[in-house]
Amino acid sequence: MIELLWPWVLAAAPLPLLLRWLTRHAEARQAALTVPSLRPYQPDGESLTDSSRRGGFSIALTLLTLAWLLILIAGARPQWTGEPVALPASGRDLMLAVDISGSMGTEDMQLGGDYVDRLTVVKQVVSDFIEARGGDRVGLILFGTNAYLQAPLTFDLTTVMQLLREAPVGIAGGKTAIGDAIGLGVKRLRQRPEGDRVIILLTDGANNVGEVAPVKASELAADIGVRIYTIGVGATEMRMPSLFGRFGSRIVNPSAELDEDTLTQVAQNTGARYFRAENTQQLAEIYALIDELEPVEQEAETFRPVQALFMWPLGGSLVLLFAALLLNATFGGRRGI
């Protein structure tokens, strides 16, 4: 249907008549010109030119009146409101917490046959996971030295994926605040109705900065029914070349700082699981497994599509004003209409 947001603007419709009445009332108070006879001013004495001018004046006045009414209608902000559209609300509230600290730039994982940094692999796998979340509200937290809410819980999965893909390594700081990331996720999920509320936290290190300890944050999550699935990412072996090439290379563990005990405890405290991803395939399988969580019915939500229509009456008024000016130029001459 079509509705007006500011219908009170239409109350200004009689304003031109009021101004015209006030003008005539002021003119009536001025001295009048006395003439001996009114015959020269009778309609029968009008010339063809005078008759055309009177006709032009009548048409122009009608056009100006319509233009004024259209301007008022445009000012009343007309809009078309569509039928209610049901939103897909049978899914979960998923908060993704992704580590983007400096260590996520370690190139120990393969993607397409090439070694790339961990964050590049995570972006690829998690983006596919988000894309399949139709019906779920998904939010995004990025953390390093500090934890930031990059995207609140939303059905706009495209925007969430874009924000993840644009995140650079180290932008949130070089350290790892796992506890703060969990605390921020719990804070946002607490505002949602009780149901299937989940945090999926991915990191490649240990909590070494922040205000909240990860285990303590997980206990707060358990109190309000939030499950936290934790994922440790990073290879266990990596060949480091030396100055002598292959003969002097050595094998190191690039994930030595990964605190698996804490991540396991965090997940167990909330009734969830801890997963270890040493390569791209394992990471994809982990997200596929998490994908099998059963959705919980939530209260249905609807929205009504709205489209502004003010430009149509406004455009019509401009056309009518132009036509009135054209008539004035054609019939008005020096006297005007």
231 in Cβ contact with 262 (< 8 Å): no
Greater confidence, 255 or 123? Answer: 123
Residue 31 pLDDT exceeds 70: no
Of 94, 85, 169, whose CA–CA distance to 132 is shortest? 94
Q: How far is 56 from 66, CA to CA, in rounded Å? A: 15
Q: What is the pLDDT of residue 96?
A: 96
Neighbours of 281 (CB within 10 A): 12
Greater confidence, 194 or 39? Answer: 194
Strands 85-87 and 301-303: antiparallel
Both structure tokens of 121: 């692999």
Neighbours of 127 (CB within 10 A): 16
List pLDDT tens digits, range 265-320: 999 999 999 999 999 999 999 998 888 765 545 556 676 788 889 899 999 999 99
Domain regions of the chain by residue span:
49-80+308-337, 86-290
Of 162, 165, 167, 203, whose CA–CA distance to 185 is shortest? 203
List pLDDT tens digits, range 39-57: 555 555 445 455 555 555 6
Residues 6+ apart with CB under 8 A from 215: 262, 265, 266, 269
Class of domain 86-290: alpha beta
Q: What is the pLDDT of residue 48?
A: 45
